[in-house]
Structure 1
C-alpha cells in the first residue's frame, strides 16, 4: 500500500470508528511503524482533516445533538478523579480541559471522557505527569457535552457541593 493510500485508509477508518483509535493499533493494522502513523496523521491534519488526538487515541469528532456547556473549576491534582467522575456520573461527557497560559494563551487538551472507565483509563495515563491546571493554580475550564440542561445543572450542583466549581475570587 502506498503512503497516500494508507493515509486515506487511516482517515476512512477513523471516520467509521465509534471510539478513539491508538497510533499503535493503526500501525499494526497497516503494517507500518507507530511513527509512520503519527506522520500520516500530521499530514492529514495539514490537509484539513479534523482529527483530534485524545489520551486514548485519534478521533474524528462527529456532530452531536447534545448541549455543549462549559464549567470553570478549581482543585489540586488530587481532586481530578472526583471532578471527572462527578461529571460522567450525571450523564455528561468531558470533551476537553482548557487553561489560560500567560505566554501561550489558551491551551486546550482534548479528553473525550464519557464514563468512569474512561476516567480510570485517563488517570492511569496521567501517572507521573502534571495536569494542565497546575499552570494556573488549579483553575481550568471543561467543555462538556450534556444530554439536556437538567444534566448540566446536576453537574454544576455536584461540583459546587464538592467545592470544585469556580465562581471567582473567594
Structure 2
C-alpha cells in the first residue's frame, strides 16, 4: 500500500516538529522518506520555513533546529584564519579539542560580498563527518576562493577555552592577527 502525500502546510508543520524534537541532525533524504516526497521538495520546504523566520540551519550532517539556549550564555568570538584546504581538519581539531564549537565559515567574495556557510562542529566525530562530506561530494572549501583567508564564528562556555584555542591556532600558523 502506497503512503499518501501530506498537504504542503501539514508537511512543513511535520518537518518543523521533527526538527524541534530531534537530538541529532536530520538529512533531507531521511525527512523525504518520512514524508513520501523527494529530497528536493524537502529542500524547498526548509527554505520556506527559513523564510518564515524559523531557526532551521543546514549543516554538513543535516538539518537542525536552533533552540534558544536557556541559562548559560555562551561566549562568542570571530577569528581570521589562513591555511590550505589540506590543513582544514587540523584547524578544526585544534578548535574542538579545546571545547570550542565552530558555527560557520565566512569569506569575502569579490562579487557577492560576505558569504557565510554553517559548519556547526563541536567534536572530532562531527569534524570527521564534515571532512568526509566534502570528499564524498567532491566539494571545494570556501577558503579556496580567497587564497586561504577565512573567518570562523566560535562559541564556548568560557572565554578561557576560546583563548587557549586561539593560542594553539597561532602556534600552528593558522591564526591571522
User: Which residue matches 1:79?
Assistant: 87
Counterpart Cα distance in 2 of 1:26 and 1:104: 31
- Structure 1 residue runs of 4+, over 3 Å off? none
SS in 1 for 2:102: strand
52-61 or 74-83, larger mean C-alpha shift: 52-61
User: Which residue matches 1:117?
Assistant: 125
How many Å apart are 1:18 and its aligned residue?
2.6
Counterpart Cα distance in 2 of 1:38 and 1:149: 36
User: Which residue matches 1:101?
Assistant: 109
1:45 and 2:50 are equivalent in the alignment: yes
- Unaligned regions of 5+ residues in structure 2, if any? 1-5
Counterpart Cα distance in 2 of 1:78 and 1:2: 45
How many Å apart are 1:63 and its aligned residue?
3.0
Counterpart Cα distance in 2 of 1:81 and 1:150: 22
- Unaligned regions of 5+ residues in structure 1, if any? none
- TM-score computed with the length of structure 1 as normaliser: 0.93
SS in 1 for 2:79: strand
- TM-score computed with the length of structure 2 as normaliser: 0.90
- Which of 116, 126, 150 is the matching residue for 2:160? 150
Deviations 1:28-80 (A, max 9, x none): 11222212211211222222222211111111222342111111100011110
